[in-house]
RNA sequence: GGCCCCGUCGUCUAGCGGCCUAGGACUCUGGCUUCUCAAGCCAGCUACGAGGGUUCGAAUCCCUUCGGGGCUGCCA
């Protein structure tokens, strides 16, 4: 399988009709990992043959997403390479040439059927329980018929002729797969306006770009015979065909193919919420693949080192947000402080909690160790540090009752008088003063003693550790917030 | 409908004929710890879709069946 390892060339070729989603990225990750693992080349190509649906914005965004995840490509947009251009929209003349050649060879033919006619015939075929594919009406037109169509100003598409027989290929993940050609109708290579279809462009480019391994979604499995048909027409020897590996789907929790309807699919969504790229890659690597032992915590580099297509599962996987969160939280806990700070700051600034001044950054820096094991995404940093900035705070609704009842007031008064004389405002002194006054003095359980203080100062009954929080907040604001509730 | 792919705990998976009274992780439940929330630690629940074969022996091989999914486009 790893024949001519050094020559392995794998491509990731999305059609950017929207933001890259979880399924796309899992494919990209496997493509990348396979290339890296074999010491081969990772090619990034844009399949924008459908210009009505693809936009420049999404093309740009796709590249950015790959870079953010750390999936760098060796050839493709931005970096170039010997087989470019890597945008199919810039290779139109190439497809035209091949289509013309197929025409000349008799492998393809002009088809004058209109959409409406095709539609009608498809319906009829369905009704009479025949396969709905192209019926071959234009396969063998006479000169007279052609002249007649021309006279009607019909402009033909170019359609590939599927010969009788069958196509068999070996899929790295599924084994030998065979399609009888009676179920693979003649297919369109080029629209009347001269623009190519995926079926033509993908095959031509894979051959021209010397792609050796095609790892892609399972949905393309049944289009493989068409692709192989194009290789044949191009004169590629069977031994030179790329090797196929059709990856299992990543499905939504509702057991349907992952889509906008059943989940958060766009990678941009995860990025905005503060999921770490290495966590996303780690989680996605485990969807359809496993290293074989009980290892689940892998870095991008380790994925590349360990990845093996033969270990890819053939059955679909459901996306599990809970597990992604668990992995993300674990990675966050292991972040070094400087790294954690650098990654958190954009979220805190974006939320308007701080402007980013050095003194503010310093406070966040000191707060991060307190919250590191309490968050699952970077986005949660915002809510955790918010109380450290600004003067007053708003007590959240479901905590309000816990500071307004009589006993709570008493606790707050006691805390107030215990803290007021504290000179050395640090964690130890604060804890000492509060324990002495509330636990020893009032005889309260710690939980009952500290909760009102916590709420008064942070606004919530859930917060970072209390004494450290008060130390960070400063004496002045701590006392002010307590007294505001008296 | 036809063609193709797939089927181990709720989820992701290990397993590639005996090491499996099926292992790990996430989730969930209970407990410990504790200033809240987390984190951490301990314990527990739950799976080979079904039916036939093959074999001394099957989660592992074969067949059937049921279930799920994809494709069936001048989308990719």
A217: which DSSP letter?
E
**Nearest to A473, CA basis, from A412, A435, A406, A425:** A425
Tokens of A391: 């003067």
Is A192 near strand B, with its CB below 7 A from some atom of it?
Answer: yes
Q: Is the CB of A486 under 7 A from strand B?
A: no
What domains are defined for chain A? 5-87+250-318 (3.40.50.620), 91-247 (3.40.50.620), 335-388 (1.10.8), 397-483 (1.10.10.350)
Q: How far is the CA of A169 from the C1' of B12 (A)?
A: 29
pLDDT at A3: 43
From the list A476, A486, A333, A338, the residue with the least C-alpha distance to A404 is: A486
A128 CB and strand B closer than 7 A: no
Whether CB of A359 is under 7 Å from strand B: the answer is no
Angle of CA points A367, A370, A375, to nearest 5°: 105
| Angular region, A352: left φ>0, alpha ψ -120 to 50, beta rest | left
Distance in angstroms: CA A132, C1' B71: 12
Q: Which residues of chain A have pLDDT under 50?
A: 1-5, 261-262
In this predicted complex, what is the ipTM?
0.94
Is A124 noted as a catalytic residue in this protein? no
Q: Residue A68 CA to B73 C1' — how many Å? A: 34
Q: Cα(A4)–Cα(A442) distance, rounded to whole angstroms?
A: 78
Task: Give the closest nucleotide to A445 (alpha carbon vs C1').
Answer: B35
């Amino acid at each position: 399988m790893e024949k001519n390892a050094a020559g392995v060339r794998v491509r990731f070729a999305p059609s950017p009709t929207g933001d890259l989603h979880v399924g796309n990225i899992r494919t990209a990750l496997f493509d990348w990992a396979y290339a890296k693992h074999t010491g081969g080349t990772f090619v990034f190509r844009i399949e924008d043959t459908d210009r009505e649906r693809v936009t420049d914005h999404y093309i740009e965004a796709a590249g950015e997403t790959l870079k953010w995840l750390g999936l760098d490509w060796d050839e493709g947009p931005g970096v170039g390479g010997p087989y470019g251009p890597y945008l199919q929209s810039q290779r139109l003349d190439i497809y035209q040439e091949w289509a013309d050649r197929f025409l000349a060879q008799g492998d393809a033919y002009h088809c004058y059927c209109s959409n409406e006619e095709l539609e009608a015939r498809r319906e009829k075929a369905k009704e009479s329980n025949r396969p709905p594919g192209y019926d071959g009406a234009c396969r063998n037109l006479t000169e007279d018929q052609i002249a007649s169509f021309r006279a009607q100003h019909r402009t033909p598409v170019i359609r590939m002729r599927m010969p009788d027989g069958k196509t068999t290929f070996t899929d790295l993940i599924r084994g030998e797969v065979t399609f009888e050609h009676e179920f693979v109708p003649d297919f369109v290579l080029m629209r009347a306006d001269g623009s190519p279809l995926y079926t033509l462009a993908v095959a031509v480019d894979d051959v021209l770009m010397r792609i050796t391994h095609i790892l892609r979604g399972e949905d393309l499995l049944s289009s493989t015979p068409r692709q192989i048909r194009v290789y044949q027409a191009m004169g590629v020897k069977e031994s030179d065909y790329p090797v196929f590996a059709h990856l299992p789907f990543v499905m939504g929790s509702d057991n349907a193919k992952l889509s906008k309807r059943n989940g958060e699919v766009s990678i941009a969504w995860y990025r905005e919420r503060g999921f770490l790229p290495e966590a996303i890659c780690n989680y996605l690597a485990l969807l359809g693949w496993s290293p074989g032992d009980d290892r689940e915590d892998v870095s991008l580099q380790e994925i590349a080192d360990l990845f093996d297509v033969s270990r890819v599962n053939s059955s679909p996987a459901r996306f599990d947000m809970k597990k992604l969160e668990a992995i993300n939280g674990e990675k966050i806990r292991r972040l070094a402080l400087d790294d954690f700070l650098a990654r958190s700051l954009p979220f805190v600034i974006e939320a308007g909690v701080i402007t980013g001044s050095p003194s503010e950054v310093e406070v966040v820096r000191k707060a991060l160790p307190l919250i590191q094991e309490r968050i699952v995404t970077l986005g949660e940093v915002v809510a955790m540090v918010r109380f450290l900035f600004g003067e007053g705070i708003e007590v959240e609704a479901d905590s309000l009752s816990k500071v307004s009842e009589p006993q709570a007031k008493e606790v707050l008064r006691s805390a107030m008088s215990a803290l007021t004389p504290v000179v050395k405002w640090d964690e130890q002194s604060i804890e000492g003063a509060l324990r002495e006054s509330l636990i020893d003095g009032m005889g309260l359980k710690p939980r009952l003693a500290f909760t009102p203080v916590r709420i008064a100062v942070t606004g919530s009954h859930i917060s970072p550790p209390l004494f450290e929080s008060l130390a960070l907040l400063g004496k002045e604001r701590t006392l002010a917030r307590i007294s505001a509730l008296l």
